[in-house]
Amino acid sequence: MQGPRPVVLSGPSGAGKSTLLKKLLKDYENIFGFSVSHTTRQPRPGEVNGKDYHFVTREEMQKEIAAGEFIEHAEFSGNMYGTSKGAVQAVQAQNQICVLDIDIQGVKNIKKTDLNPIYISVQPPSIDILEKRLRDRKTETEESLLKRLTAARVDLELSKEPGLFDLVIINDDLEKAYSELKEILLEEIKKTQESRKS
């Protein structure tokens, strides 16, 4: 079943994708649905299996990838991440706007599919601010933090490719960043709200 046009949120780890996404899901409950990815990383305190991620072993994930169950998958900072066909279908079956939170490798792989999402990159005002946000979040070891900062530099370079993203949001002031996000999504939001009335 084909739902409304999906949305891809990408950008360096710590840039604020989940923060923006949580606001969107809260303000537009039932309009947006989150594509729950699979990952082999360990859950963080408070993360719920099946809601934040499907937490799986590398063996389980490799088996499902081999069975053709994934739209895209990537290795990020020492762990596997991927979007299953089922994750997107579950949201589209509800006629909701499906939001994917994926890294830049995922963006490039989604571009090869017929998903046709709106591509948005959320970026930090600077690498120093990104590092501070990641440290303050207290989710990373020193090793994984350094890996994520290295990946962030690559992400910010690759994101400069013309046409890769429909919009780049610099997440300095959160409310301003959120307004920019809502503005680009306004048309899809309206269409989805209208379709509920008919």
Ligand X SMILES: Nc1ncnc2c1ncn2[C@@H]1O[C@H](COP(=O)(O)OP(=O)(O)OP(=O)(O)O)[C@@H](O)[C@H]1O
Ligand Y SMILES: Nc1nc2c(ncn2[C@@H]2O[C@H](COP(=O)(O)O)[C@@H](O)[C@H]2O)c(=O)[nH]1
Interface with ligand Y, residue 103, by CB under 6 A: yes
Site string for ligand X, 34-73 (x = CB under 6 A): ----------------------------------------
User: Which of 65, 126, 92 has its CA nearest to residue 195?
Assistant: 92
Q: If you search the block for the tokens 């994101």, which residue do you land on? A: 159
CB nearer to ligand Y: pick between 102 and 169: 102
CA dist 173 and 79 (Å) reads 30
CA dihedral (17, 22, 24, 26) in degrees, to 10, reads 180
> Stretches 102-110, 112-120, 129-137, 179-187: which one binds ligand Y (CB under 6 A)?
102-110
Task: Answer whether 97's CB lies under 8 Å from 9's CB.
Answer: no
Residue of the chain from 106, 120, 177, 178 that contacts ligand Y (CB under 6 A) = 106
Q: Which does 137 bind (CB under 5 to 8 A by kind): ligand Y, ligand X, none?
A: ligand X
Does 174 bind ligand X (CB under 6 A)? Our answer is: yes
123 makes contact with ligand Y (CB under 6 A): no
CA distance 169 to 11: 9
Which residues participate in catalysis according to the annotation? Answer: 44, 137, 148
